[in-house]
Amino acid sequence: MDEALYIFLLVFLMIFGLGLLLAGIFTVYFGSGKSRGIGAGLLIFGLLLGIMVFLMNEMGFIIPDTLRWQLWDLVIFPGLVFLGAAILGGAAAVGMFLLAIMKS
């Protein structure tokens, strides 16, 4: 398989797992009844997916040895930087929106 496909697969799985993890935390905290149970399932599935991606990297499953040493530099660190920037930018936009609405 081509390295770009491996990188795509890993980024997809990492972001999907992180999204499920965050959605699960949000649903467990703010939900009630059945939605809390669904949120717990999302949380656990997201956590297991993150562990799976980590193990895929450490044990060499699916990921070729030539890409394993590059994974942190090419995928994980830039992905976390971009995700952090996106979250901060979104939070700043929501904060500005709420400030504007509350002042009017």
Residue bearing the bigger pLDDT, 60 or 17: 17
For residue 86, is pLDDT > 80?
A: yes
Q: What is the pLDDT of residues 57-73, one digit of tens each?
A: 677 666 666 666 666 77
CA gap 92, 58 in Å, rounded:
36
- Please count the structural domains in the chain: 1
Note whether 10 and 63 are within 8 A (CB). yes
Note whether 10 and 53 are within 8 A (CB). yes
Instruction: Report helix, strand or coil for 8.
Output: helix
CA gap 45, 18 in Å, rounded:
10
Query: Per the structure block, which two tokens stand in for 97?
Result: 């929106």
Instruction: Report helix, strand or coil for 69.
Output: coil
Q: What is the pLDDT at residue 83? A: 81
Query: Per the structure block, which two tokens stand in for 2?
Result: 């081509």
Q: Which domain holds residue 37?
A: 3-103
Residue 2's pLDDT band (boundaries 50, 70, 90)?
low
For residue 95, CA distances in Å to 19, 62, 89, 98, 101 come to 21, 41, 10, 5, 10
Instruction: Kindly report whether the global pTM for this prediction surpasses the value 0.95.
Output: no
What is the arithmetic mean of pLDDT over 37-47? Answer: 90
Q: What is the pLDDT at residue 44? A: 92
Residue 12's pLDDT band (boundaries 50, 70, 90)?
confident
